[in-house]
Amino acid sequence: MARLKEIVGPTYVLTRPEDVVVYEQDAFLVARALPDIVVLPGSTAEVAGVVRLVHEAGVPLVVRGAGTGLNGGSIPIAGGVMLVLTRMNRIVELDPRNRLAVVEPGAINVDVTAAAAQHGLFYAPDPGSQTVSTIGGNVGNNAGGPHCLSYGVTGNHVLAMEVVLASGDVTWVGSRSADHPGYDLCGVVVGSEGTLGVVTAIVVKLLRKSQAVRTLLAAFETIDDASQTVSEVIAAGIVPTAMEMMDGVVMAAVEAAIHAGYPQDAGAALLIEVEGHPESLPRQMKRIEEICRAHAPRMLRTAASEQERLLLWKGRKEGAGALGRLAPSYYLHDGVVPRAKLPDVMRKVVEVGKAYGLSIGNLFHAGDGNLHPIILFNPREPGIMDKVVRAGEEILRACVEAGGTITGEHGVGIEKREYMRWMFSDADLMAMQRVKRSFDPDGIMNPGKLLPVGERPDVTVRPAMAAGMWT
């Protein structure tokens, strides 16, 4: 304990139960476990010092940002030391000429775009949690977002990273140049969920803002009509900047909370956005509207002002939170299906909800087939969690059977680690284990996450060990 305090200062080492309990959970609300010690470093040197000490002690190390993760990836299921990087939140460099920024892992996603906006630039990956989630957490889970249909996910915008390895050594992976030779170690670290090292600096690409933007709200009688529209828009060779869907359950909650202008009696709605040259957008929007009309929309409305456009997006971004009006809790899932299979899988989601007697809201990135079924429930109802987990598992099974995956942007964590066997052979998983061991030979980095261990995760609270081992 004394050595940790020497590295980061006494204020930034937490051991009292009332302090560490704050870090027992992330946004994956069905599991929690206590860390033994929480450390809040303020620099790469401090991170390296802490990691070196943890490595010598041979205890687990879990890295956490803002705690907005949805897969239990930052829950310390094996105890040990939790490294919280929220103090490391600086935008170290903003280079508009080369269109890049160097940020610390605790920098908030939306703050990076706000800083870039002064130069007519923006950072493209925009998860729904972008006003609170950190760039480091986005990197760990390879986060997506509504506009990633056109621009790509986090990994497409990370050029290089400073990483503290499990030994405490500091290295850089990737390069500021576009065509860096050799193995793509930057690509290996993005999406590794803290199992390979601690990212302490990230070089990200910035993009030039488009000259014009148009946003269309299209409401339909059924989810099936909206799903068919998505497939046909993409099949027509049109790739909107964003194409989001929400069903009637979500729209009713959004309107009650935000008054964004969504119809409360429609079955589903699409929020479709295109960007580009002012002269080309009207033709593109006309073609999209023609495809929408083929499915008898209840409403077609193009935002008439920037204020109206932002309000529509506010409804989309805050949709999940608005569901608190309908149930005390919810379980937000994340799966991906080929766009052509979207109508079939959405029918399956409805069937699963009926079979288990559960209300399921849907709010997701329809353009790239990234589903987010939201299972609403009351945690005080006896046996409800078993039903919720089984319903979610059936939905993910349907995604994989349709040729999709178990996650599009939330990552694997503990939530889906055993489902990895649905997609990968034993040989595949062993290869991943070898990559893990090459970075982390002693297995101290975020153990029990991402890769299967042969059993369902324990969702109970694990009492912390005595902190005396650190004296």
Residues 319-351 pLDDT 10s: 888 888 899 999 999 999 998 899 999 999 999
202 and 329 part of one domain: no
Cβ within 8 Å of residue 373, ≥6 positions away: 332, 333, 335, 349, 360, 361, 362, 364, 392, 395
Once rounded to an integer, what is the mean pLDDT over residues 278-294?
A: 94
> Are 163 and 42 in a shared domain?
no
Q: Is residue 457 part of a domain?
A: no
353 and 276 within one domain: yes
Q: Provide the domain limits for residue 266.
A: 212-401
- Mean pLDDT of all residues in 164-181: 92
Give the C-alpha distances (Å, rounded to integers) separating 243 from 266, 363, 410, 421, 430: 18, 11, 19, 31, 37
The answer as to whether 328 is a domain residue is yes
What CATH number should be reported for the domain holding residue 262? Answer: 3.40.462.10
Instruction: Give me the mean pLDDT over the 159-170 stretch.
Output: 98
Backbone angles phi and psi of 345, in degrees to 5: -70, -35
Confidence of residue 179 (pLDDT cuts 50, 70, 90): confident
Burial (CB count within 10 angstroms: exposed 0-12, middle 13-18, buried 19+), residue 64: buried
Q: Is the pLDDT of residue 458 over 70?
A: no
Determine the pLDDT at residue 319.
Answer: 87
Q: Does 133 lie in the same domain as 14?
A: no
- Rank 42-51, 179-188, 261-270, 339-348 by mean pLDDT and report only the highest: 42-51
What band does 465 get if pLDDT is binned at 50, 70 and 90?
Answer: very low
Q: Is the pLDDT of residue 470 over 50?
A: no
Indicate the pLDDT class of residue 456, thresholds 50, 70 and 90: low
Q: What's the pLDDT score for residue 468?
A: 35
Domain shared by 108 and 15, yes or no:
no
Q: Give CA–CA dist 390/385, Å, rounded.
A: 8
- How many CB atoms sit inside 10 A of residue 2's CB? 9
Q: What would the mean pLDDT of 236-262 be, rounded to a whole number?
A: 92
Residue 230 inside a domain? The answer is: yes
From 208, 242, 270, give the residue that closes a domain: 208
The answer on 170 and 43 residing in a single domain is no
Looking at the 3D structure of the chain, how many domains does it have?
3
Q: Is the pLDDT of residue 464 over 50?
A: no
**Among 50-64, 104-118, 148-162, 251-265, the least confident range:** 251-265
pLDDT value, residue 457: 57
Does the pLDDT value for residue 73 go beyond 50?
yes
Residues 193 and 231 in one domain: no
Residue 347: how many other CB atoms lie within 10 Å: 15
The answer on pLDDT for 104 being more than 90 is yes
